[in-house]
Chains A and B, each alone.
Chain A
Amino acid sequence: MPPSETVKAEARRFSFYYGNTQALKEVTMPVYDKRVTALIGPSGCGKSTFLRSFNRMHDLYPNNRYEGEIRLYPENINLVAPDVDPIEIRMRVAMVFQKPNPFPKSIFDNVAYGLVIRGITNRSELADRVEMALKGAALWDEVKDRLDALGTSLSGGQQQRLCIARALATEPEILLLDEPTSALDPIATASIEDLVSELSDRVTILVVTHNMQQAARISDYTAFMFLGELIEFGPTDELFVRPKEKQTEDYITGRFG
């Protein structure tokens, strides 16, 4: 472990199965606290599957199976263990999806939802925390005069920042981003990338991207995955400049993928 890093979560020989199909093979890697870790690799390499394991999204569908461990610190629990409540995990590990998916409700209600479901009903507290989250997602100035407007009425990039605000409102420990800019235009993409860099002071971020330049721009650490296996993990500057593995080098130099 590099000096001055704290481990927030750590996969240990973590495997995942869709029915009988093994999608992840004994992945072992750390996720450092308040750092941005990028997961890269060609389509179908399991990077999204891996990401979605961190907040137990796979529990929503039948016949999915986790094996091995993903430890969550500081308590050192195995977050994929059957006796760990997925709802607790999802409240601590928030997620933003590939396609912006705001609820067809007002901007305010979108951001407040994570707070409302845990029973916060005090209007002024909700208002404060919604404002904070929207500021955190760099959306406040654009929407502060129309919090009652439908979240779905915003532009694509704004919708994605709304989804980030919604995820941030509950002050999660880890923020998962699943190709958050793949449905956005270059300008919206740039604003999300800036946002990710700002947020990394406050929250641990794990981001899936198939855009290597993006990984290089926004992440502190990068994991390269291929066919369900972790090929290489390291500080982003090292992995891109001096990859240790041949496969990593082939991928980042564009020879396949």
Chain B
Amino acid sequence: MATQPFDVAELRTNIAKRRRWDVIFGLVELVATMVGVVVLLTLFIDLIIDGWQHVTNKAFFLNFPSRRPAEAGILSAWVGTALVMVVTFLAAAPLGVAAAIYLEEYAPKNWLTELIEVNVTNLAAVPSIVYGLLALGLFVYILGFGHSILTAGLTLALMILPVIIVATREALRAIPLDIREAAYALGATRWQVVSDHLVPYASGGILTGVIIGMARAIGETAPLITIGALTFIAFLPPIPFTGEPPAGPFDWLFSPFTVLPIQMFNWLSRPQPAFHELAAGVGIVIIVATLLMNGIAIWLRYRIRRNLTW
């Protein structure tokens, strides 16, 4: 059979034709990426234009909210957010990590644990206001915690539990079987394997999960409105752990409170433009706090993983 003479010109037309699609799709993808970036940037720049004067003003952080925009600040809101986050962290981190360790290391693999696993994953997708409803019934009415920092912290803790559980399980699963076998082969008990090896090696992933969960919680508004967070608070909760025992050190837990996103929501709902600028200031504070937490999470993960090779 005679070989076809090789037609270079035809080959080049063919390549050029295929290249065209390369260019077209490259452009489409660039535009798609830009939509996200540009929108986010516009949002952030807009916030900064409106709110910059406030976040650079010390009084904004040291004043209580006020009827007069010029005197209004976010003292009660950021203190409230900080205290609620402390409660959220203390409740969610140990519970979430323990639940993940149980599911991953202790639970027998049967239909019941399968069911629990599916549920935990789905809980992450439950709208946050539904958690507010649950919390209103459970913490406010049944347990009688009131419209307090404690209720808010526990509500947000419930909400971010699935995030922490899923992240912790993934971190545990990333630890090779070899390492577990090495520890067991030396005669370690299950708890020794968990506490001496699995938790330390998974700590990067666990911390990331906790911080990302907290970053999500810090911006939550809906569930806290449901449980009755106040929108106007011109006093601070008692300083934690300073009152007279037995109840004094913990009285802050039962104090009414407001948080940053609720303060923002309150100001946004007023007609005066001056309040909208205040709201933009709160927006900047929340975004910076969230970015900072995510940044810490990335940094921690990098720091801890650097020392882990299997």
Does A118 sit at the interface, judged by CB under 8 A?
A: yes
A167 touches B186 (CB 8 A): yes
Within residues 148 to 203 of chain A, which ones have a CB less than 8 A from any CB in chain B? 150, 152, 163, 166-167, 170
Nearest A residue to B192, CB-CB? A117
Known A104-B307, A150-B307; judge A94-B186 contact (CB<8 A).
Answer: yes
A95 to B180, CA, bound (A): 13
Does B143 sit at the interface, judged by CB under 8 A?
A: no
B179 touches A101 (CB 8 A): yes
B108 touches A87 (CB 8 A): no
B189 touches A87 (CB 8 A): yes
Minimum distance in angstroms from A173 CB to a CB of chain B = 13
Residues of B within 8 Å of A95, CB to CB, are 185
How big is the A interface, by class? Answer: 20 to 34
Nearest A residue to B308, CB-CB? A104
Which candidate, A3-11, A54-62, A210-218, A223-231, is the interface stretch facing chain B? A54-62
Minimum distance in angstroms from B113 CB to a CB of chain A = 12
Within residues 176 to 202 of chain B, which ones have a CB less than 8 A from any CB in chain A? 176, 178-189, 192, 196-197, 201
Chain B 236-263 per-residue mask, 1 if CB under 8 angstroms from chain A, else 0: 0000000000000000000000000000
Within residues 6 to 39 of chain A, which ones have a CB less than 8 A from any CB in chain B? none
A102 to B156, CA, bound (A): 40
Nearest B residue to A90, CB-CB? B187
A87 to B187, CA, bound (A): 5
Residues of A within 8 Å of B178, CB to CB, are 97, 99, 101
A57 to B197, CA, bound (A): 18
Chain A 84-120 per-residue mask, 1 if CB under 8 angstroms from chain B, else 0: 0001101100110101011110000000011011100
Q: Which of B180, B183, B187 contacts A91 (CB 8 A)?
A: B187
Residues of B within 8 Å of A88, CB to CB, are 187
A90 to B181, CA, bound (A): 11
A90 to B180, CA, bound (A): 14
Residues of B within 8 Å of A60, CB to CB, are 180-181, 184
Q: Which of A62, A99, A113 contacts B183 (CB 8 A)?
A: A113
Does B58 sit at the interface, judged by CB under 8 A?
A: no
A97 to B187, CA, bound (A): 15
A103 touches B183 (CB 8 A): yes
B196 touches A113 (CB 8 A): yes
B192 touches A103 (CB 8 A): no
B179 touches A166 (CB 8 A): no
Q: How many residues of B contact A (CB 8 A)?
A: 23
Known A62-B108, A113-B196; judge A90-B182 contact (CB<8 A).
Answer: no
A124 to B108, CA, bound (A): 41
B181 touches A166 (CB 8 A): no
Residues of A within 8 Å of B176, CB to CB, are 101
A55 to B187, CA, bound (A): 9
A57 touches B187 (CB 8 A): no
Residues of A within 8 Å of B197, CB to CB, are 103
Chain B 107-147 per-residue mask, 1 if CB under 8 angstroms from chain A, else 0: 01100000000000000000000000000000000000000
Known A57-B181, A103-B179; judge A113-B307 contact (CB<8 A).
Answer: no
B188 touches A101 (CB 8 A): no
Q: Which of B108, B196, B201, B310 contacts A117 (CB 8 A)?
A: B196
A57 to B307, CA, bound (A): 28
Does B309 sit at the interface, judged by CB under 8 A?
A: yes
Minimum distance in angstroms from B193 CB to a CB of chain A = 9
Interface centre among B109, B179, B185 (most CB of A within 10 A): B185
A147 to B124, CA, bound (A): 44
B310 touches A97 (CB 8 A): no
Minimum distance in angstroms from B180 CB to a CB of chain A = 8
A102 to B307, CA, bound (A): 13
Residues of B within 8 Å of A97, CB to CB, are 178, 181-182, 185
B187 touches A152 (CB 8 A): no
A51 to B212, CA, bound (A): 45
A62 to B196, CA, bound (A): 23
A90 touches B179 (CB 8 A): no
Residues of A within 8 Å of B109, CB to CB, are 62
Minimum distance in angstroms from B231 CB to a CB of chain A = 50
Minimum distance in angstroms from A234 CB to a CB of chain B = 29
Known A104-B308, A152-B309; judge A117-B181 contact (CB<8 A).
Answer: no
Residues of B within 8 Å of A114, CB to CB, are 186-187
Within residues 157 to 189 of chain B, which ones have a CB less than 8 A from any CB in chain A? 176, 178-189
Interface residues of B (CB under 8 A from A): 108-109, 176, 178-189, 192, 196-197, 201, 307-310
Interface residues of A (CB under 8 A from B): 55, 57, 60, 62, 87-88, 90-91, 94-95, 97, 99, 101-104, 113-114, 116-118, 150, 152, 163, 166-167, 170
Which 9 A/B pairs are nearest by Cβ-Cβ distance?
Answer: A91-B187, A101-B178, A114-B186, A90-B187, A95-B185, A101-B182, A152-B309, A104-B308, A117-B188
What are 7 A-B contacts with C-beta separation under 8 Å?
A60-B184, A87-B189, A88-B187, A91-B187, A104-B179, A152-B310, A163-B182
| Given A60-B184, A97-B181, A113-B196: 6 more A-B contacts, CB < 8 Å | A97-B185, A103-B197, A114-B186, A114-B187, A117-B186, A118-B187
